[in-house]
Amino acid sequence: MNPFITHNEAFELAEAGDYRGAGERYAQALREFELAAGNPQWRALIIERARLIPRETERASEIVREFFKMVPEWLRELHFDRFCESLSSDDIEPARMHWALLVIASGLPSLAKSTNIELLRDLVCQRFQVTQERAARGGSTRTDVTKRAERILLADRENLTARTLVIEGYTVEISNALERLSSSRGNKIAAAALDRMTDGERQRLRVSMRKSVRRLRRHLFQSRGGRLDSKLMTDAYRLLCYYYVGVGDLELAIRLARRGRRIRPQDGDVRSWVRKVVQLRRRR
């Protein structure tokens, strides 16, 4: 067992573009570093090597002790920096690989203290300017935050801040589109008003919002059973529901409304808008 040899093999595979093979070798190297940290025979061998350093024979044990302290931080910085570099260049496959390795490191006792995965997720969002403060500016800035957050999620599906901002971004976009249609008819966003739209209005809504609706539904699906704010999710389902009422797909609107109700079954406001959508079918 020599984690440095294994690590170097992984590096060479990554340089050759074999990210699957590199990921496997990198993961093996992490586990070998974990074993080496608690292996007295391996430590003794390293100390013997350290005694060969000119003028450091007496300090060999101290050098090795400091070396083992530095290894976890070195591994964290290596994989974190490579992750950020890959993500910056939209090279998603190696980004996923390096993030998966950080997750593995966070579960190994000798590496976990220097690899706090939630802290690293926060650092990723800060580095890529995916923040609530920027999103709150609205307009093109919110759109930029949404795009950046989606890129993060391609590599790390569990980034809660990125997922939240993506869902907020698409919810606001769909809400604005529905408000524009409703205001032209002298109404606030309401299921009954949207159900009375003309065929031309339905088509414009469908064409303009198709991509955003599809992406919002995907992000909500990927968030099921997760830690997202329940109000955020029910608000998103409400807007999706109203969209499908607007484009004339009442059955899908009702299914989505009931999903939203399952998230907050005791919320009176949620029960109210779900009931109004279901009543539309009875009136037809």
pLDDT digits (tens, 9 = 90+) for 225-252: 778 899 999 999 999 988 888 888 889 9
**Taking residues 18-45, what's their average pLDDT?**
85
Residue 188 above 60 pLDDT?
Answer: no
Query: How many other CB atoms are there within 10 angstroms of residue 219's CB atom?
Result: 24
pLDDT, residue 220, reads: 93
% of the chain beyond a pLDDT of 70: 86
The pLDDT score that the predictor gives to residue 208 is 82
State the Cα–Cα distance between residues 211 and 220, nearest whole angstrom: 14
> What's residue 6's pLDDT?
93
Residue 246: predicted pLDDT? 81
Identify the residue with better confidence: 118 or 269.
118
Task: Supply the pLDDT for residue 94.
Answer: 96
**For the residues 33-47, what does the mean pLDDT come to?**
74
For the cut 60, the answer to whether the pLDDT of residue 186 exceeds it is: no
Split at pLDDT 50, 70, 90, the class of 44 is: confident
- Residue 249's region, left for phi above 0, alpha for psi from -120 to 50, else beta, is beta
Domain 132-283 has CATH 1.25.40: yes
What pLDDT is attached to residue 13? 95
Q: If pLDDT is split at 50, 70 and 90, which confidence band does 194 have?
A: low
Q: Are 30 and 36 in contact (CB under 8 A)?
A: no
CB of 121 closer than 8 Å to CB of 161? yes
* pLDDT at 102 (0 to 100): 97
Give the pLDDT band of residue 50 (cuts 50, 70, 90). Answer: low
Is residue 217 very low, low, confident or very high in pLDDT (cuts 50, 70, 90)? very high
Give the per-residue pLDDT at 192: 62
Give the start-to-end residue ranges of the domains of the chain: 3-115, 132-283
Query: Rounded mean pLDDT of the chain?
Result: 86
Model confidence, pTM = 0.85
- How far apart CA 260 and CA 252 sit, in angstroms, is 12
Out of 63-72, 75-84, 128-137, least confident range: 63-72
Name which of 2-6, 176-180, 259-263 the model is least confident about.
176-180
Q: Quote the percentage of the chain above a pLDDT of 90.
A: 50
The band of 185, judged by pLDDT with boundaries at 50, 70 and 90, is low
| pLDDT > 60? residue 184 | no
| Torsion angles phi and psi, residue 15, rounded to 5 | -65, -30
